[in-house]
Amino acid sequence: MATQTIAAAINPWHVAQQQFDLAAVHLNLSPGLRKVLREPKRELTVHFPVKMDDGTVEVFTGYRVQHNLSRGPAKGGIRYHQDVTLDEVKALAMWMTWKCAVVGIPFGGGKGGVRVDPKKLSLREVEGLTRRFTTEISILIAPDRDIPAPDVNTNAQTMAWMMDTYSMNVGYTAPAVVTGKPVALGGSEGRTEATGRGVVYSIVEAARHLDMDLGKCRVAVQGFGNVGGVSARLIAAEGATVVGLSDWMGAIYRPQGLDVDAVLAWVQEHRTVMGFPGAREITNGELLELDCDILIPAALETQITAANAGKIRARMIAEAANGPTTPEADEILHKNGRFVIPDILCNAGGVTVSYFEWVQDLERDFWNIGHVNEKLREVMTKAFASTLEMSLKQEVSMRTAAYMLAVQRVADATSVRGLYP
Ligand code: NAD
């Protein structure tokens, strides 16, 4: 698939460092701080055995990276994907540091991943892999140290297994060690939908700023998993017309609009959007270039590159995925007047409600869905407003503005703590 070839050729860690360097220049950050913030604090690689259903043993490779812990414990998801690399996890951990800072929640950045295609494993094998991986990284994770959450190909069930494994190992129940858990285990109401909901809150703010009427907007969404699925459903609920949807198998297009709920039901049954009746099948590359007003990349990194950025027709790009745009593509989009809501702002709803979940677990006091969503809206709109203000004041893109806000906050925390010893 074209998108996978592009993604494989670009190293997300180099992208993350380039984005940081640009912000460091704008902020005139001292050389010492630049060196500290440019590298992760810790990188753990584990190779661990899992007994497969046929009795054989497979060895898998996994990672947990903590980027910067100046503002609080590490926070970040666990990804299961056949293309996971240490560099990808490092980039995702660094992005988490900035994301937590831009929305003002007291966490540092972390991320984890296992190199595996979970679609090829049985449920029991995925459980075995999750439990052993949790044990391997338990030298890092703890409720006040490093708190994982779901990401690509992991979900509330994965988090339940992680929480149970950690709790078995320490000898008591520790709900706050992961977020994104089922509500029955101390998960938060609204967490499953939080990332997509936050994406749509930020689109609503951007549309207000750009004077775009969502009722007249056509939307394309790349990736139809947790984040893409919820974003598509909620943007349709705002009155927009969803014309394109995709997953790893390919994309579907219907200029008159797709019934998102019907596509979700189709995917439940067929495990892909492909074959959805009444829609034209196109490639993921074509989906990005569709004639639409809002593009929501919600799959993987480095999908919008110098090769296709010039062909993107959407006026607004809402980065639901982490790192979907390369720095070269960013420049082209900026030059072409596209309004990009950068990932560290756009998809911060997930980690924000993860923070709410962690607080609820620690306090043993649980909130209702209305309270969760209202507080989420508050955090997202405030962060959007501060980023927009910075962008207009400094005459920089929304990404540079979000980085300037975030990096400054992390730099302040890092320098005021001082250099130990
Ligand atoms: P998911 O596993 O639920 O869904 C991923 C979707 O992307 C699936 O539909 C999959 O088929 C599709 N996909 C995979 N490879 C693709 C390709 N090459 N081209 C097109 N589609 C492809 O994962 P998710 O949790 O929805 O995460 C999606 C993105 O959002 C990731 O970048 C993730 O890091 C980011 N994110 C997730 C959360 C969260 O709370 N889950 C929070 C913040 C950011």
Confidence of residue 24 (pLDDT cuts 50, 70, 90): very high
Residues 122 and 199 in one domain: no
Give 413 Cα–ligand 1 centroid separation in angstroms: 31
The pLDDT score that the predictor gives to residue 51 is 98
Confidence of residue 9 (pLDDT cuts 50, 70, 90): confident
CATH number at 199 reads 3.40.50.720
The pLDDT score that the predictor gives to residue 2 is 40
Res. 398: pLDDT tops 50 = yes
Residues 158 and 242 in one domain: no
Note if the bond before 421 is cis, omega within 30 degrees.
yes
pTM tops 0.85: yes
The pLDDT score that the predictor gives to residue 271 is 95
Residues 57 and 153 in one domain: yes
Q: Taking each helix axis from N to C terminus, what angle separates 398-417 and 12-27, rounded to the nearest 10 degrees?
A: 80
Residues 199 and 151 in one domain: no
- Per the CB < 8 A criterion, the answer to whether 320 and 296 are in contact is yes
Sign of CA dihedral 115, 118, 119, 120: positive
From 111, 216, 335, 393, active-site residue: 111
**Ligand 1 atom with least separation from CA of 1:** 18
Give 300 Cα–ligand 1 centroid separation in angstroms: 6
Residues 154 and 299 in one domain: no
- Burial call 63-83: b when 16+ CB within 10 Å, e when fewer: bbbbbbbbbbbbbbbbbbbee
Given ligand 1 and candidates 92, 116, 117, 152, which is best to mutate, with the most ligand atoms within 8 Å of its CB? 152
Instruction: Please give the mean pLDDT across all residues of the chain.
Output: 96
Q: What is the pLDDT of residues 118-176, one digit of tens each?
A: 999 999 999 999 999 999 999 999 999 999 999 999 999 999 999 999 999 999 999 99
Nearest CA to ligand 1 atom 23: 152
Residues 323 and 201 in one domain: yes
Nearest CA to ligand 1 atom 28: 299
Residues 340 and 202 in one domain: yes
Is 99 an annotated catalytic residue? no
As separate numbers, helices (DSSP H) first and strands (DSSP E) second, the chain gives 15, 12
- Per the CB < 8 A criterion, the answer to whether 161 and 130 are in contact is yes
Give 147 Cα–ligand 1 centroid separation in angstroms: 20
Which residue type does 211 have? D
Residues 129 and 197 in one domain: no
Res. 211: pLDDT tops 60 = yes
Specify if 177 maps to a domain: no
Task: Round to whole Å and give the CA distance between 234 and 331.
Answer: 29
Q: What is the pLDDT of residues 307-322, one digit of tens each?
A: 999 999 999 999 999 9
Question: What percent of the chain shows pLDDT beyond 90?
Answer: 98
Task: Round to whole Å and give the CA distance between 246 and 19.
Answer: 27
Res. 257: pLDDT tops 90 = yes
Residues 201 and 331 in one domain: yes
Give 393 Cα–ligand 1 centroid separation in angstroms: 33
Specify if 394 maps to a domain: no
**Ligand 1 atom with least separation from CA of 229:** 26
Order of strands, sheet of 108-115, starting from the edge strand that comes earlier in the sequence: 42-51, 57-66, 108-115, 74-81, 146-150
Give 9 Cα–ligand 1 centroid separation in angstroms: 19
Domain count, the chain: 2
Strand partners, 63: 45, 113
The pLDDT score that the predictor gives to residue 1 is 39
- Per the CB < 8 A criterion, the answer to whether 99 and 24 are in contact is no
Q: What angle do CA 361, 189, 66 make, to 5 degrees?
A: 55
Mean pLDDT of 85-113: 98
Mean pLDDT of 345-367: 98
Nearest CA to ligand 1 atom 4: 225
Nearest CA to ligand 1 atom 22: 248
Neighbouring C-beta atoms of residue 401, cutoff 10 Å: 25
Percent helix, strand, coil in the chain (nearest 5)?
A: 50, 15, 30
For 233, the domain range is: 193-346
Question: What percent of the chain shows pLDDT beyond 70?
Answer: 98
Instruction: Give the three-class secondary structure for 219.
Output: strand
CATH number at 78 reads 3.40.50.10860
Residues 198 and 146 in one domain: no
Q: What is the pLDDT of residues 267-293, one digit of tens each?
A: 999 999 999 999 999 999 999 999 999
Q: Which of 172, 207, 222 is the last residue of a domain?
A: 172
The pLDDT score that the predictor gives to residue 48 is 98
- Tell me which residues have their CB closer than 6 angstroms to ligand 1: 1, 3-4, 150-153, 195, 222-228, 246-248, 284, 298-300, 320-322, 347, 350
**Ligand 1 atom with least separation from CA of 227:** 26
**Ligand 1 atom with least separation from CA of 299:** 7
Mean pLDDT of 171-198: 98
